[in-house]
Amino acid sequence: MTQLISDRRDIEFVLHEQLEAETLSGLHENFADFNKKTIDLVISEAKNFAVKELLPANKEGDQVGCKLENGKVTTPESFKRLYKIFNEGEWLATTEDPEWGGQGMPRTVASAAAEYFNGANFPFMMYPGLTQGAGHLVEKFGTPEQKRIYLKNMFTGKWTGTMLLTEPGAGSDVGALTTKAIRNGDGTFSIVGEKIFISGGEHDLAENIIHPVLARIEGAPEGTKGISLFLVPKFRVNPDGTPGEFNDVICTGIEHKLGIHGNSTCSLSLGSKGNCIGTLLGQENKGMQAMFLMMNEARRLVGFQGFACATAAYMYALDYARNRVQGKNILEFMNPDAKSVTIINHPDVKRQLMMMKVFVEGMRSLLYFVQYSADMALHAPTKEEKDKYHGFVEVLTPIAKGYVTDRSFEVCSQGMQVYGGYGFIEEYPMAQLLRDCRITLIYEGTNGIQAMDLLGRKLGLNKGKPIMDLFGEIQKMVAAAKAIPRLEKQAVKIEEALNKLGEVAIHMGTAAMSEKVLHAFANAHPFQDATGDVTMAWMLLWRAVIAANKLEAAKKKDAPFYEGIIRSLQFFVETQLPITLGRFKALMNVSSVAVDMDDTMFPS
């Protein structure tokens, strides 16, 4: 079985030819050393670590999983060594400030490491991934004392972090939480409550676990307006920075899940013995605003998790199809002497592989572009550019999480189909990839919530400027493609889809602010699908413009690669964009049937 879990050549194409990532080196002192040579070194090191260390532990994580005994969770044995050498390689906080133990790497470049690492073993990667997100909260909102105590310990992996939002009676309705924060005389708070579905909430990988916890201070307003954010360590921290007394954070259960078995998903009881102490992180009653910083970053990470499963599934399926011999070539079907061929020669298998290729390539470009936009939003030379790229991040985050994970699961399913019956057997990688990928459509805000965010918030953000800026970027690429004879036909079709998207967006936005608001939100997910399709078309067109301009002078070894990029665009425009136009037609109706269904009309 191949260990090529990602396409190195396409990663290099996106970084160097599409985004020209080395130009970021001039934007910030931390980026200064990230020239092309350094970026290629990062890719090589990430690939080596993923294939040699992360991938071999993936199966054990799935089969052995995590175990709870007397309130303590044990992780798979291989994870302990893996976590140690992962931190020794300083991989946890690649994009964070070197002052606190990070590498100061551009997010664009770190995308390559994220792709390889999550494709090799994303259940393991959840431990450091959440830690980086929790540490970022401390960096952004913490007091100097909180930063001194926690930041370096977290960014170096000595301590891990989590995110404590969900409660049994609240779920996605965070404002309904019941966890209480009671003021103490010394400025600390006593925390009392129950949290569920906490990834990495208890484990044996690090000496301390730092929990950012959403809770309501006694007397605070109801709903999200009265929620504050607190830092609650598993062990209180002594004045010298060492872990001290146990802080009454008890793991009461771990979930037995469909996938991601290597990551502990915990139920936590805080303050059941009246002895859980937390410190306020940020301002009182501003907890949701602070937590959204971590949640938005986490949503983009989830997009990478889903995509990494998809790219691994594609590479495995491609390798299997090239080696699995079964059946005659359809043109030789009546020839009794014809030999069996590898299944990549069968039209339907090739169609499935082409579908996987197109979406994997488009999603890679999209996810890397969002991270590039995050870099530019912080470090672009002018405020105007910073605002523009920040708008791209905002508008594209629900696409990068919602649309990408929807398509990623479909790619994993296609990969299983390529394997046939063997794909359904746990001996092969497809079953685990499909199971692991499925959670990405659910956590960090279900994909339905992402669709509601896109329709309800992002379309009208800043009076619609970010979405219009995005449409402007797509139109620029359409114009560039029209000047290339081979791409003109595809460019015209994409322009037609873009114009229709603009019309539908206005129609849906108007409906969402009228008496048809329920009908509009019942169609939010199909709208996200259609918007994502046009975004995919843009990415594939952008890639094809570069490929077409380089193809004539390309070296012999590069010519098939560039030709394949152009064929990806053609395939998408010919087979997927017509479906998108059908979605637009349905969306213009803003169907009310789902909303109008009375509960009694469903089976009782």
251, two tokens? 């793991």
Is the dihedral angle over the CA atoms 537, 540, 542, 545 positive or is it negative? negative
454, two tokens? 């896109």
Nearest CA among 165, 322, 148 for reference residue 228:
165
Q: What does the alpha-carbon distance between residue 402 and residue 396 come to, in Å, rounded to a whole number?
A: 10
SS3 207: coil
Nearest CA among 126, 123, 122 for reference residue 134:
126
Q: What does the alpha-carbon distance between residue 37 and residue 390 come to, in Å, rounded to a whole number?
A: 28
482, two tokens? 């029209």
Q: What does the alpha-carbon distance between residue 38 and residue 47 come to, in Å, rounded to a whole number?
A: 14
Sorted by sequence, the CB contacts under 8 Å of residue 462 that are 6+ apart come out as: 391
Q: What does the alpha-carbon distance between residue 367 and residue 541 come to, in Å, rounded to a whole number?
A: 16
Which residue numbers are catalytic? 444
Gyration radius (Cα) of the chain, Å: 25
- HEC letters along 407-470: HHHHHHHHHHHHHHHHHHCCCCHHHHHHHHHHHHHCCCCCHHHHHHHHHHHHCCHHHHHHHHHH
Q: What does the alpha-carbon distance between residue 379 and residue 391 come to, in Å, rounded to a whole number?
A: 14
In one-letter notation, the amino acid at residue 154 is M
Q: How many residues does the chain have?
A: 604
Is the dihedral angle over the CA atoms 365, 367, 373, 376 positive or is it negative? negative
The DSSP output letter for 179 is -
Sorted by sequence, the CB contacts under 8 Å of residue 51 that are 6+ apart come out as: 3, 5, 116, 120
**Residue bearing tokens 């059941």:** 272
Number of DSSP helices (H) and strands (E) in the chain, helices first: 20, 14
172, two tokens? 């996605």
The DSSP output letter for 255 is -
